[in-house]
Amino acid sequence: MAKNSTRFSRTQHKRNKRVISALKKCPTGISGLDEITEGGLPLGRPTLICGSAGCGKTLLAMEFISRGITEFNEPGVFMAFEETTEELATNVASLGMNLKEHIRQKKLAIDYVYIERSEIEETGEYDLEGLFVRLGNMIDSIGAKRVVLDTIEALFAGFSNEAVLRAELRRLFRWLKTKKVTTIITGEKGEKHLTRNGLEEYVSDCVILLDHRIVNEVATRRLRIVKYRGSKHGTNEYPTIIDENGLSVLPISSLGLTYPVSNDRIPTGIDRLDTMFGGKGYFRGTSVLVSGTAGSGKTSIAAAFADKTCRKGEKCIYFSFEESPEQIKRNMGSVGINLNQWEGKGLLKFHSTRPTLYGLEAHLVRIHKLVEEFHPTAVIMDPITNLAAIGESLEVKSMLTRIIDYLKNKQITTVFTSLTEGGGASAQSEVGISSLMDTWILLRHLETDGERNRLLYVLKSRGMAHSNQVREFVLSGKGVHLRDVYIGAGAVLTGSAREVQESKDNAQKLSDKQSSERRQRALRQQHLTLKGQVEALKVQLAGLAEELRISADAERCRIGVMHHRKKEMSLIRKAD
């Protein structure tokens, strides 16, 4: 925006040889309002704040003055037409504004303008110069930079000559501009116009509409900038709350899908669950949904995560919509998670509210505020299903989207728990937000052999090779653990059935081992026997060979002898 107008003014400068600077703004100091107005109210010009009764007009105006004094050292004038100085001071004292002190320091001037129709007789032409002089005198006496007229419409009730009034109002706003004061004018919401007497006709620079709506018996405050001449501004309806710190507006709709992404991992607090997520846990700054039926251990998983986060010295906020902090701490103590110590060290903060206490938007603003104040690295919301009680599914989804966007932007890891109705399809989360989640852990009960056991599996986890295994989830006095389930013969065994099966397995293993040893022994014996036989045969073979050789020798001798004899015989016979 700023760039655009600078460029614009530069071209203007070239063309007209005259500098037109961008619209200067007067910061209100009200949390969030300066963001959606991109800097504040138009400096030195009037702004109209309108809305129905009780929507916080006077408060916003008073905060503008009060913060102007305390934060920007700009004195202010408050001209009240409805409440006296005393009443005003009392009303805002609970919000930490000390008007009396400001008045004493000559930083604030309050003038209560009393108009009583019945006391006034109109006898000819008049103007409102008295009002001008009063206002001018106050502005000059303290050097005011900010002025509030609350609510100037009271003049319409006091004077009957509307033509004079309208002319005078026009003159008043022109005069305020020449005084170079930034002015807030409040106006009651009218039926056809933004204000009952059409004040928007005179204040054309900036108009802010406050709204206080009641849906399903829950009130929600909203703020919208109807127009802002010469400036870009947020156009949505922004949720607003009034609490002990005054008014705050949540500029949440300005968030988008532009958050930073981290490769950093953050442990889940349950060792084997870390293993299921590739050994390291969740990605930092992602959203985790833990859903399951009643009593399946959702809160325990969330608390284990909170415990681990604090153990590492990081901060965590636990938003609980069902249980009180004390109850959570006691219950988690029973499974070996001591959250008390972290709260004592200021690392853990509990915030327990009933969802029906205020509207969704107000919850959103409160969450936003707490996160801004506490700077946690992890946030737990337990359970989000209860929020569905105060809004339509679409609204809840939109609210959670905003929360997720906001927390992701801040690189905060968030664990949401969600209750699934028993018997229903477990792969369907109650508020239809599963698609918004980066990681989804599903818990369920398995009822067999007269007992219920908890099962856990990771349905999805974006960006990592997570385990596809079903694990048994065991809560004991020593903490939260995961165990393998027994899978075989078309059934998953858990709890004591698993134990039985495991001991059976062990016995089987032992007997297997024994029989294998026996078999080996037998084989070894056989081996040895055969070896012996082989030796004996070898000896036998050697004997035989010897025998054979001896007999061959004898034969050869015998033949030789016989041959010799024949020779001798023939010699004797003198044969030819």
Using CB under 8 A, list all residues that contact another protein.
Answer: 111, 113-115, 119-131, 133-134, 136-137, 155, 158-159
Shortest Å distance, C-beta 399 to another protein: 47
Shortest Å distance, C-beta 21 to another protein: 34
Radius of gyration of the chain (CA): 45
- Calculate the alpha carbon distances from 170 to 137, 243, 532 in Å: 20, 35, 128
Shortest Å distance, C-beta 432 to another protein: 58
Q: How far apart are CA 356 and CA 193, in angstroms?
A: 33
Q: How many CA atoms lie within 13 A of 108 on its CB side?
A: 25
Q: How far apart are CA 470 and CA 486, in angstroms?
A: 10
Cβ atoms 289, 440 nearer than 8 A: yes
For another protein, give the closer residue by CB, 150 or 307: 150
Q: How far apart are CA 416 and CA 175, in angstroms?
A: 55
Shortest Å distance, C-beta 123 to another protein: 4
- Angle formed at CA 224 by CA 219 and CA 225, multiple of 5 degrees: 160
SS3 367: helix
Shortest Å distance, C-beta 140 to another protein: 9
Shortest Å distance, C-beta 122 to another protein: 5
Shortest Å distance, C-beta 257 to another protein: 55
Tokens 């959702």 -> residue: 298
For another protein, give the closer residue by CB, 113 or 144: 113
Tell me how far the alpha carbon of residue 100 is from its chain's centroid. Answer: 41
Shortest Å distance, C-beta 202 to another protein: 18
Cβ atoms 331, 324 nearer than 8 A: no
Shortest Å distance, C-beta 115 to another protein: 7
For another protein, give the closer residue by CB, 113 or 288: 113
Q: How far apart are CA 187 and CA 170, in angstroms?
A: 15
Strand ordering across the sheet containing 218-228 = 108-112, 76-80, 146-150, 182-188, 46-51, 206-215, 218-228, 237-243, 246-249
For another protein, give the closer residue by CB, 112 or 259: 112
For another protein, give the closer residue by CB, 135 or 365: 135
Within 10 angstroms of residue 253's Cβ, the number of other Cβ atoms is 16
Cα distance from N-terminal residue to C-terminal residue, the chain? 148
- Angle formed at CA 131 by CA 129 and CA 202, multiple of 5 degrees: 90
For another protein, give the closer residue by CB, 129 or 451: 129
Shortest Å distance, C-beta 142 to another protein: 14
For another protein, give the closer residue by CB, 8 or 126: 126
Nearest to 246 by CA among 59, 389, 50: 59
For another protein, give the closer residue by CB, 125 or 217: 125
Q: How far apart are CA 72 and CA 26, in angstroms?
A: 10
For another protein, give the closer residue by CB, 76 or 234: 76
For another protein, give the closer residue by CB, 133 or 507: 133
Cβ atoms 388, 396 nearer than 8 A: yes
